Amino acid sequence: MRHWRGLRGRLTREALMAQAGSAGPEIGVQRGRTPWLWALAVLWLAAAEGSPSRRKWPVPYKRFSFRPEADPYCQAKYTFCPTGSPIPVMKDHDVIEVYRLQAPVWEFKYGGLLGHLKIMHDAIGFKSSLTGKNYTIEWYELFQLGNCTFPHLRPEINAPFWCNQGAACFFEGIDDIHWKENGTLVLVATISGNMFNKMANWVKWDNETGIYYETWTVQASPEKGAQTWFESYDCSQFVLRTYNKLAELGAEFKKTETNYTRIFLYSGEPTCLGNETSVFGPAGNKTLALAIKKFYYPFKPYLSTREFLFSLLEIFDSVIIHRQFYLFYNFEYWFLPMKFPFVKITYEEIPLPIRNKALSGF
């Protein structure tokens, strides 16, 4: 059994789909049925050897002109942003403290359990000196992490169905116990009311245009400086974007270590396979469509213990043995030629940003 990994260079969508069209769903694995196609692919790769990919990496996260209504099929296990409120307009001369908030994911359900694995959720707290009121802003999934990581395979719909929206939630109050008990609540900056108001306007734009959650960070290897193929778009990325916006507005951050959770996939150069229409539509490649759905099938939720254990074996077979992963990014499907160590959860420092001195009005 041979894998594409023995051949250097990048596979085009056509080569992968052609391979799929002849060899059946296990793309990238030679089954001895298409030697001529295999030779063609080898010749193509030899010709392409060393030709640098023309694509810009990492793939830029796609923003949209507006946030669509969520599909009623998507059901939240826990209500999104139950105590949400509009962001208030602060007095320009107000002095507002900015807090880094971090707690284990799903702490409300599992306490500090995931904190032991450093699987952490991030948010930002604000406290107004003029009013004494404090606030929390956090960015997370409308329909929980599993729905943002894997799709639903609905019998009545040919394409995988995603409930992967993520959004910002702003509400009055900071739950000190929630953040302090197993995580972090620390002052990181002090800003003016004017800066806060400008940040608030940016948050509204960011929230209206950045509409989907992406769990995975995809890189070529765990080494520092390795090529990043895709960045995640999750709670921590929102906090980082907001800190950067505040620094751009002139905020000066304290010197404190800030670590964040990321879950990595390691792969060779990804290949874009197309979107829902081009892959799963009437003119789509039926075998590729089947291969993608076959890949996602073991990830479906609410399995029995026996089904779950069997699914783990299927996932191991796809990702580790056959070194295949289908990523959904920017509402397109990507083939990832997986590499050792395949998957890794990290909790590493991403330093607080440097102030933009040109704009520091505070």
Ligand X SMILES: CCCCCCCCCCCCCC(=O)OC[C@@H](O)COP(=O)(O)OC[C@@H](O)CO
| Residue ranges that bind ligand X, judged by CB under 6 A | 105-108, 119, 121, 138, 140-141, 145-146, 149, 215, 234-236, 261, 263
Instruction: Please provide the DSSP assignment of 271-328 as one string.
Output: EEEEEHHHHHSTTS-HHHHHHHHHHHGGG-SS--HHHHHHHHHHHHIIIIIS-EEEEE
Q: Judge whether 81 counts as a catalytic residue.
A: no
Query: Residue 58 burial (CB < 10 Å; 0-12/13-18/19+)?
Result: middle
Q: Judge whether 235 counts as a catalytic residue.
A: yes
- As measured in angstroms, the least distance from the Cβ of 319 to ligand X is 12
Q: Which of 148, 163, 169, 235 is catalytic?
A: 235
Task: Report whether 165 contacts 141 (CB < 8 A).
Answer: yes
CB nearer ligand X, residue 118 or residue 339: 118
CB nearer ligand X, residue 107 or residue 231: 107
- As measured in angstroms, the least distance from the Cβ of 301 to ligand X is 8
Token couple for 9: 């260079």
* Per-residue DSSP letter, 250: T
Q: How far is CA 199 from CA 89, 135, 217, in A?
A: 11, 14, 26
- As measured in angstroms, the least distance from the Cβ of 149 to ligand X is 4
- As measured in angstroms, the least distance from the Cβ of 211 to ligand X is 15
- As measured in angstroms, the least distance from the Cβ of 33 to ligand X is 34
CB nearer ligand X, residue 40 or residue 303: 303
Pairing of strands 95-104, 332-349: unpaired
Q: CB neighbours of 60 closer than 8 A, spacing ≥ 6? A: none
Q: Which of 121, 163, 272, 322 is catalytic?
A: 121
CB nearer ligand X, residue 100 or residue 121: 121
Token couple for 308: 């779950």
Is there a cis peptide before residue 25, judged by omega within 30 degrees of 0? no
CB nearer ligand X, residue 27 or residue 137: 137
> Which residues are catalytically annotated?
121, 235
